[in-house]
Amino acid sequence: MATVNNNLSEYDKASIPNAKSFRFGIVVSEWNDTVTEGLYKGAFETLIAHNVLPENIARWDVPGSFELIYGSKKMQQQNVDAVIAIGSVIQGETKHFDFVCEGVAQGIKDLNVLHDTPVIFCVLTDNNKQQAIDRSGGIHGNKGTEAAVAAIKMVVISIKSAFTK
């Protein structure tokens, strides 16, 4: 979703189901932690705002965004209804950015294809640190908020699909 004319934190709160009985795992990259902590705060506060109990939110930290894949896979095994993978990759002077972004996107996609617990991609892939700050609680809102809303909605889809089997 392009953020130029949008605020990532704005959504119709009344349209989001009550998530009181849901359990969430949040896996947070320690790399670019000023950004990832902002994303975590947005996700956590949004889950709480939709009645998720604090004890039903588990947080694990991993060293970097590439490690989000393994951390999310292990979190899927922890009796959670959805996982939110939070990271920030900022363009540098080498192709490392491309490899990390591609690997993380494909890895999280694979977890969603292979397992029944949804993993939400909350990894910022920005050209510079200011863009990341703007999207982790700055002028464009918070991608963590958007990820938490997506996680709640995906749990509802997961529950619905269980009834149609």
- Residues classed as catalytic: 96
Rounded to an integer, what distance in angstroms lies between the CA atom of residue 45 and that of residue 67?
24
Enumerate residues 6+ apart whose C-beta is below 8 A from 19.
47, 50, 51, 52, 152, 155
Please say whether the beta carbons of 104 and 89 come within 8 A. Answer: yes
Please say whether the beta carbons of 151 and 14 come within 8 A. Answer: no
Q: Could you give the dihedral angle defined by the CA atoms of residues 127, 130, 133 and 135, in that order, rounded to the nearest 10 degrees?
A: -50
